[in-house]
Amino acid sequence: MQYHVIEVGDTRFEVLQRYNDLHALGSGAQGVCCSARDTIANRSVAIKKLSRPFQNITHAKRAFRELKLMRLVNHVNIIGLLDVFTPQTTLDEFQDVYLVMELMDANLCQVIQMELDHERISYLLYQLLCGIKHLHSAGIIHRDLKPSNIVVDRKCTLKILDFGLARSGQNHNMTPYVVTRYYRSPEVVLGMKYGPNVDIWSVGCIMGEMIRGRVVFCGTDHIDQWKKITDLLGTPSAEFTNRLQPSVRDFVESRPYCEGISFDVLFSDDYFPPDSERYEQLNSKNARDLLTKMLVIDPKHRMSVDEALRHPYINLWFKDDEVNGPPPATYDSSAEADELTVQQWKQLIYNEVKDYEACRDSKIDDR
Protein backbone atom coordinates (compact mmCIF):
# COMPACT_ATOMS: atom_id res chain seq x y z
CA MET A 1 0.00 0.00 0.00
CA GLN A 2 1.30 3.44 -0.97
CA TYR A 3 0.98 6.45 1.37
CA HIS A 4 1.38 10.17 0.90
CA VAL A 5 1.77 13.00 3.41
CA ILE A 6 -0.64 15.97 3.52
CA GLU A 7 -0.53 18.81 6.04
CA VAL A 8 -4.03 19.64 7.29
CA GLY A 9 -3.75 22.79 9.38
CA ASP A 10 -0.99 21.98 11.86
CA THR A 11 -1.57 18.22 11.70
CA ARG A 12 0.40 15.81 9.53
CA PHE A 13 -1.77 13.22 7.80
CA GLU A 14 0.02 10.24 6.22
CA VAL A 15 -2.75 8.48 4.36
CA LEU A 16 -3.28 5.91 1.65
CA GLN A 17 -2.90 7.22 -1.91
CA ARG A 18 -6.60 6.58 -2.57
CA TYR A 19 -7.48 9.47 -0.21
CA ASN A 20 -6.83 13.00 -1.40
CA ASP A 21 -8.25 16.53 -1.30
CA LEU A 22 -8.12 16.65 2.51
CA HIS A 23 -9.77 19.56 4.36
CA ALA A 24 -9.98 20.16 8.12
CA LEU A 25 -13.33 19.45 9.77
CA GLY A 26 -12.46 19.88 13.43
CA SER A 27 -10.61 18.44 16.37
CA GLY A 28 -11.42 17.10 19.82
CA ALA A 29 -9.86 15.25 22.72
CA GLN A 30 -9.79 11.98 20.79
CA GLY A 31 -8.50 13.17 17.43
CA VAL A 32 -8.36 15.46 14.42
CA CYS A 33 -10.88 14.97 11.63
CA CYS A 34 -10.81 16.01 8.00
CA SER A 35 -12.88 15.42 4.89
CA ALA A 36 -11.30 13.64 1.93
CA ARG A 37 -12.08 12.13 -1.45
CA ASP A 38 -11.85 8.36 -1.80
CA THR A 39 -10.72 8.06 -5.42
CA ILE A 40 -11.31 4.30 -5.59
CA ALA A 41 -14.83 4.23 -4.14
CA ASN A 42 -15.56 7.64 -5.72
CA ARG A 43 -17.12 9.15 -2.62
CA SER A 44 -16.41 11.72 0.06
CA VAL A 45 -15.30 10.40 3.43
CA ALA A 46 -14.19 11.62 6.84
CA ILE A 47 -10.76 10.60 8.14
CA LYS A 48 -10.04 10.77 11.86
CA LYS A 49 -6.48 10.64 13.08
CA LEU A 50 -6.45 9.55 16.71
CA SER A 51 -4.54 12.04 18.83
CA ARG A 52 -1.46 10.54 20.45
CA PRO A 53 -3.24 7.29 21.33
CA PHE A 54 -0.29 5.92 23.31
CA GLN A 55 0.59 8.93 25.45
CA ASN A 56 -0.97 7.28 28.53
CA ILE A 57 -3.15 4.35 29.59
CA THR A 58 -6.39 6.38 29.45
CA HIS A 59 -5.83 7.48 25.84
CA ALA A 60 -4.73 4.01 24.77
CA LYS A 61 -7.75 2.36 26.38
CA ARG A 62 -10.13 4.84 24.69
CA ALA A 63 -8.48 4.32 21.31
CA PHE A 64 -8.81 0.54 21.63
CA ARG A 65 -12.44 0.83 22.76
CA GLU A 66 -13.42 3.17 19.93
CA LEU A 67 -11.81 1.02 17.25
CA LYS A 68 -13.21 -2.22 18.66
CA LEU A 69 -16.76 -0.87 19.03
CA MET A 70 -16.82 0.74 15.60
CA ARG A 71 -15.94 -2.63 14.08
CA LEU A 72 -18.81 -4.32 15.96
CA VAL A 73 -21.74 -1.95 15.40
CA ASN A 74 -23.79 -1.99 12.22
CA HIS A 75 -26.80 0.31 12.18
CA VAL A 76 -28.02 3.08 9.90
CA ASN A 77 -28.02 5.52 12.83
CA ILE A 78 -24.44 4.82 13.90
CA ILE A 79 -21.54 6.14 11.87
CA GLY A 80 -20.13 3.50 9.55
CA LEU A 81 -16.46 2.51 9.65
CA LEU A 82 -15.18 2.30 6.06
CA ASP A 83 -11.46 1.74 6.57
CA VAL A 84 -8.72 1.55 9.21
CA PHE A 85 -5.00 1.85 8.55
CA THR A 86 -1.61 2.85 9.86
CA PRO A 87 1.37 3.85 7.70
CA GLN A 88 3.74 2.14 10.14
CA THR A 89 4.65 -1.49 9.44
CA THR A 90 6.08 -2.67 12.77
CA LEU A 91 4.96 -2.46 16.38
CA ASP A 92 8.08 -0.49 17.36
CA GLU A 93 7.29 2.19 14.75
CA PHE A 94 3.53 2.15 15.40
CA GLN A 95 2.17 5.54 16.48
CA ASP A 96 -0.67 6.62 14.16
CA VAL A 97 -4.19 5.22 13.77
CA TYR A 98 -6.54 6.49 11.06
CA LEU A 99 -10.28 5.74 10.98
CA VAL A 100 -12.17 6.36 7.73
CA MET A 101 -15.89 6.97 8.16
CA GLU A 102 -18.96 8.16 6.34
CA LEU A 103 -18.94 11.91 5.76
CA MET A 104 -21.98 13.82 7.00
CA ASP A 105 -23.02 17.42 6.40
CA ALA A 106 -23.29 18.89 9.91
CA ASN A 107 -23.33 18.07 13.57
CA LEU A 108 -26.33 18.59 15.81
CA CYS A 109 -24.83 21.78 17.29
CA GLN A 110 -25.43 23.46 13.93
CA VAL A 111 -28.87 21.90 13.48
CA ILE A 112 -30.04 23.11 16.89
CA GLN A 113 -29.47 26.70 15.75
CA MET A 114 -32.00 26.25 12.93
CA GLU A 115 -35.74 26.65 13.24
CA LEU A 116 -36.94 23.07 13.61
CA ASP A 117 -40.54 21.93 13.24
CA HIS A 118 -42.03 19.04 15.21
CA GLU A 119 -41.51 16.59 12.32
CA ARG A 120 -37.77 17.20 12.26
CA ILE A 121 -37.36 17.22 16.04
CA SER A 122 -39.35 14.00 16.39
CA TYR A 123 -37.62 12.24 13.50
CA LEU A 124 -34.14 13.20 14.69
CA LEU A 125 -34.95 11.92 18.20
CA TYR A 126 -36.38 8.69 16.79
CA GLN A 127 -33.16 8.00 14.89
CA LEU A 128 -31.06 8.88 17.93
CA LEU A 129 -33.08 6.43 20.04
CA CYS A 130 -32.76 3.71 17.37
CA GLY A 131 -28.98 4.06 17.43
CA ILE A 132 -28.92 3.98 21.23
CA LYS A 133 -31.13 0.87 21.29
CA HIS A 134 -28.69 -0.86 18.93
CA LEU A 135 -25.86 -0.14 21.36
CA HIS A 136 -27.88 -1.07 24.45
CA SER A 137 -28.89 -4.39 22.82
CA ALA A 138 -25.22 -5.40 23.10
CA GLY A 139 -24.88 -3.99 26.61
CA ILE A 140 -23.00 -0.93 25.33
CA ILE A 141 -23.66 2.41 27.07
CA HIS A 142 -22.44 5.40 25.03
CA ARG A 143 -21.94 7.71 28.07
CA ASP A 144 -20.95 10.77 26.02
CA LEU A 145 -23.97 11.68 23.90
CA LYS A 146 -23.94 15.39 23.06
CA PRO A 147 -24.76 17.50 20.00
CA SER A 148 -21.14 17.53 18.78
CA ASN A 149 -21.09 13.70 18.77
CA ILE A 150 -24.20 13.42 16.61
CA VAL A 151 -24.10 14.17 12.88
CA VAL A 152 -26.75 14.60 10.21
CA ASP A 153 -26.94 14.89 6.44
CA ARG A 154 -29.14 16.90 4.08
CA LYS A 155 -31.75 14.12 4.06
CA CYS A 156 -32.15 14.48 7.84
CA THR A 157 -30.42 11.13 8.44
CA LEU A 158 -28.79 11.09 11.88
CA LYS A 159 -25.77 9.09 13.04
CA ILE A 160 -24.06 8.71 16.40
CA LEU A 161 -20.27 8.83 16.54
CA ASP A 162 -17.31 8.87 18.94
CA PHE A 163 -17.20 5.75 21.12
CA GLY A 164 -14.09 6.59 23.12
CA LEU A 165 -16.09 6.69 26.36
CA ALA A 166 -18.61 3.93 25.62
CA ARG A 167 -18.70 1.09 28.13
CA SER A 168 -20.21 -2.37 28.17
CA GLY A 169 -22.30 -3.79 30.99
CA GLN A 170 -24.24 -2.02 33.71
CA ASN A 171 -23.79 -0.44 37.13
CA HIS A 172 -20.45 1.21 36.51
CA ASN A 173 -19.08 3.97 38.64
CA MET A 174 -17.67 6.78 36.57
CA THR A 175 -15.56 9.74 37.56
CA PRO A 176 -17.68 12.85 36.96
CA TYR A 177 -15.27 14.78 34.75
CA VAL A 178 -14.98 12.45 31.76
CA VAL A 179 -18.32 13.21 30.14
CA THR A 180 -19.23 16.64 28.79
CA ARG A 181 -20.73 18.26 31.87
CA TYR A 182 -23.95 19.70 30.45
CA TYR A 183 -25.35 16.32 29.38
CA ARG A 184 -24.30 14.28 32.43
CA SER A 185 -27.03 12.44 34.26
CA PRO A 186 -27.50 13.16 37.99
CA GLU A 187 -26.17 9.70 38.93
CA VAL A 188 -22.95 10.46 37.03
CA VAL A 189 -22.63 13.94 38.55
CA LEU A 190 -22.97 12.40 42.02
CA GLY A 191 -20.66 9.43 41.37
CA MET A 192 -23.37 6.77 41.74
CA LYS A 193 -23.54 3.44 39.94
CA TYR A 194 -25.27 3.87 36.61
CA GLY A 195 -26.99 1.87 33.91
CA PRO A 196 -28.09 2.32 30.27
CA ASN A 197 -30.58 5.10 30.92
CA VAL A 198 -27.77 7.59 31.54
CA ASP A 199 -28.03 7.88 27.74
CA ILE A 200 -31.75 8.74 28.01
CA TRP A 201 -30.94 11.69 30.30
CA SER A 202 -28.53 12.92 27.62
CA VAL A 203 -31.27 12.58 24.97
CA GLY A 204 -33.57 14.64 27.20
CA CYS A 205 -30.91 17.34 27.50
CA ILE A 206 -30.44 17.35 23.72
CA MET A 207 -34.19 17.51 23.09
CA GLY A 208 -34.53 20.35 25.60
CA GLU A 209 -31.75 22.21 23.79
CA MET A 210 -33.57 21.71 20.47
CA ILE A 211 -36.70 23.24 22.00
CA ARG A 212 -35.14 26.10 23.95
CA GLY A 213 -32.27 26.81 21.55
CA ARG A 214 -29.70 26.73 24.36
CA VAL A 215 -28.16 24.30 26.85
CA VAL A 216 -30.64 23.35 29.58
CA PHE A 217 -28.25 22.59 32.47
CA CYS A 218 -25.21 24.81 31.98
CA GLY A 219 -23.01 24.15 35.03
CA THR A 220 -19.52 25.56 35.51
CA ASP A 221 -18.26 22.52 37.46
CA HIS A 222 -19.81 19.31 38.79
CA ILE A 223 -21.12 21.00 41.97
CA ASP A 224 -22.66 23.82 39.95
CA GLN A 225 -24.02 21.22 37.52
CA TRP A 226 -25.96 19.59 40.37
CA LYS A 227 -27.20 23.03 41.44
CA LYS A 228 -28.44 23.78 37.91
CA ILE A 229 -30.27 20.43 37.77
CA THR A 230 -32.01 20.93 41.13
CA ASP A 231 -32.77 24.62 40.46
CA LEU A 232 -34.85 23.52 37.48
CA LEU A 233 -36.11 20.07 38.52
CA GLY A 234 -36.25 20.44 42.29
CA THR A 235 -34.70 18.65 45.26
CA PRO A 236 -34.77 14.88 44.72
CA SER A 237 -36.75 12.49 46.91
CA ALA A 238 -35.41 10.74 50.00
CA GLU A 239 -35.70 7.49 48.02
CA PHE A 240 -32.99 8.84 45.72
CA THR A 241 -30.73 10.49 48.31
CA ASN A 242 -30.76 7.39 50.53
CA ARG A 243 -28.92 5.52 47.77
CA LEU A 244 -26.03 8.02 47.75
CA GLN A 245 -22.70 7.45 49.42
CA PRO A 246 -22.73 9.08 52.91
CA SER A 247 -20.45 12.01 52.06
CA VAL A 248 -22.36 12.77 48.84
CA ARG A 249 -25.69 12.43 50.66
CA ASP A 250 -24.51 14.94 53.26
CA PHE A 251 -23.66 17.39 50.48
CA VAL A 252 -27.00 16.91 48.70
CA GLU A 253 -29.02 17.20 51.93
CA SER A 254 -27.08 20.30 53.03
CA ARG A 255 -28.37 22.26 50.07
CA PRO A 256 -31.47 24.43 50.50
CA TYR A 257 -34.74 22.75 49.50
CA CYS A 258 -35.77 23.68 45.96
CA GLU A 259 -39.26 23.28 44.55
CA GLY A 260 -38.11 23.29 40.94
CA ILE A 261 -39.88 24.75 37.93
CA SER A 262 -42.86 23.08 36.30
CA PHE A 263 -42.28 21.78 32.79
CA ASP A 264 -45.18 23.95 31.60
CA VAL A 265 -42.98 26.95 32.45
CA LEU A 266 -39.55 25.46 31.76
CA PHE A 267 -40.75 24.35 28.31
CA SER A 268 -43.63 26.72 27.75
CA ASP A 269 -45.60 26.76 24.50
CA ASP A 270 -43.63 29.83 23.39
CA TYR A 271 -40.54 27.66 22.89
CA PHE A 272 -42.23 25.15 20.61
CA PRO A 273 -42.91 25.29 16.88
CA PRO A 274 -46.57 25.22 15.80
CA ASP A 275 -48.31 21.87 16.27
CA SER A 276 -48.03 19.64 13.22
CA GLU A 277 -50.95 19.74 10.80
CA ARG A 278 -49.90 16.43 9.26
CA TYR A 279 -49.39 14.33 12.40
CA GLU A 280 -51.79 15.05 15.25
CA GLN A 281 -49.50 13.49 17.90
CA LEU A 282 -46.68 15.91 17.04
CA ASN A 283 -47.58 18.77 19.33
CA SER A 284 -46.10 20.68 22.25
CA LYS A 285 -48.15 18.70 24.79
CA ASN A 286 -46.66 15.35 23.73
CA ALA A 287 -43.17 16.79 23.32
CA ARG A 288 -43.33 18.23 26.84
CA ASP A 289 -44.62 14.91 28.19
CA LEU A 290 -41.64 13.11 26.66
CA LEU A 291 -39.26 15.58 28.28
CA THR A 292 -40.88 15.04 31.70
CA LYS A 293 -40.16 11.30 31.41
CA MET A 294 -36.55 11.64 30.21
CA LEU A 295 -35.39 14.48 32.46
CA VAL A 296 -36.03 12.59 35.70
CA ILE A 297 -33.38 12.86 38.42
CA ASP A 298 -33.92 9.36 39.81
CA PRO A 299 -32.83 6.83 37.14
CA LYS A 300 -35.22 4.25 38.65
CA HIS A 301 -38.12 6.43 37.48
CA ARG A 302 -36.57 7.59 34.19
CA MET A 303 -37.89 5.99 31.01
CA SER A 304 -35.92 3.39 29.10
CA VAL A 305 -35.01 3.57 25.40
CA ASP A 306 -37.83 1.11 24.59
CA GLU A 307 -40.36 3.25 26.45
CA ALA A 308 -39.11 6.35 24.62
CA LEU A 309 -39.50 4.62 21.25
CA ARG A 310 -43.12 3.78 22.13
CA HIS A 311 -43.97 7.33 23.19
CA PRO A 312 -46.62 9.06 21.00
CA TYR A 313 -44.19 11.82 20.05
CA ILE A 314 -41.76 9.24 18.62
CA ASN A 315 -43.59 6.07 17.59
CA LEU A 316 -45.15 7.37 14.36
CA TRP A 317 -41.75 6.70 12.68
CA PHE A 318 -41.45 3.17 14.12
CA LYS A 319 -40.05 0.59 11.69
CA ASP A 320 -39.22 -2.81 13.08
CA ASP A 321 -36.03 -3.27 11.06
CA GLU A 322 -34.71 0.07 12.33
CA VAL A 323 -35.73 -0.43 15.96
CA ASN A 324 -35.12 -4.16 16.29
CA GLY A 325 -32.39 -4.83 13.75
CA PRO A 326 -29.68 -7.42 14.42
CA PRO A 327 -27.70 -6.44 17.52
CA PRO A 328 -23.98 -5.74 17.23
CA ALA A 329 -21.57 -8.51 18.06
CA THR A 330 -20.84 -8.70 21.78
CA TYR A 331 -18.04 -6.45 22.94
CA ASP A 332 -15.44 -8.35 24.95
CA SER A 333 -14.42 -5.91 27.66
CA SER A 334 -12.17 -8.36 29.50
CA ALA A 335 -9.04 -6.45 28.44
CA GLU A 336 -10.34 -3.36 30.25
CA ALA A 337 -10.60 -5.31 33.49
CA ASP A 338 -6.87 -6.05 33.39
CA GLU A 339 -4.23 -3.59 34.56
CA LEU A 340 -2.48 -3.31 31.20
CA THR A 341 0.52 -1.13 30.47
CA VAL A 342 0.58 1.41 27.64
CA GLN A 343 2.77 -0.99 25.67
CA GLN A 344 0.24 -3.80 26.10
CA TRP A 345 -2.60 -1.55 24.94
CA LYS A 346 -0.44 -0.52 21.98
CA GLN A 347 0.01 -4.19 21.07
CA LEU A 348 -3.78 -4.79 21.23
CA ILE A 349 -4.52 -1.76 19.03
CA TYR A 350 -1.79 -2.75 16.57
CA ASN A 351 -3.27 -6.25 16.35
CA GLU A 352 -6.74 -4.79 15.75
CA VAL A 353 -5.54 -2.45 12.99
CA LYS A 354 -3.54 -5.18 11.27
CA ASP A 355 -6.47 -7.59 11.51
CA TYR A 356 -8.72 -5.01 9.84
CA GLU A 357 -6.15 -4.37 7.10
CA ALA A 358 -5.80 -8.12 6.47
CA CYS A 359 -9.60 -8.55 6.23
CA ARG A 360 -9.84 -5.60 3.86
CA ASP A 361 -6.99 -6.82 1.64
CA SER A 362 -8.41 -10.36 1.45
CA LYS A 363 -11.71 -8.95 0.22
CA ILE A 364 -9.85 -6.99 -2.46
CA ASP A 365 -7.98 -10.15 -3.51
CA ASP A 366 -11.26 -12.09 -3.75
CA ARG A 367 -12.70 -9.70 -6.33
Task: Provide the annotated active-site residues.
Answer: 144
Nearest alpha carbon to residue 182 among 137, 214, 142, 135: 214
How crowded is residue 161: how many other Cβ atoms within 10 Å of its Cβ? 23
Residue 251 DSSP one-character state: H
171 close to 192: Cβ distance less than 8 angstroms: no
Cα–Cα distance measured from residue 129 to residue 182, given in angstroms and rounded to the nearest whole number: 19
Q: Are 279 and 317 in contact (CB under 8 A)?
A: no
Angstrom distance (rounded) from CA 132 to CA 114: 24
Eight-state DSSP code of residue 317: G
* Beta-carbon contacts of residue 256 (< 8 Å; ≥ 6 apart): none
For residue 158, the surrounding DSSP H or E stretch is strand 158-160
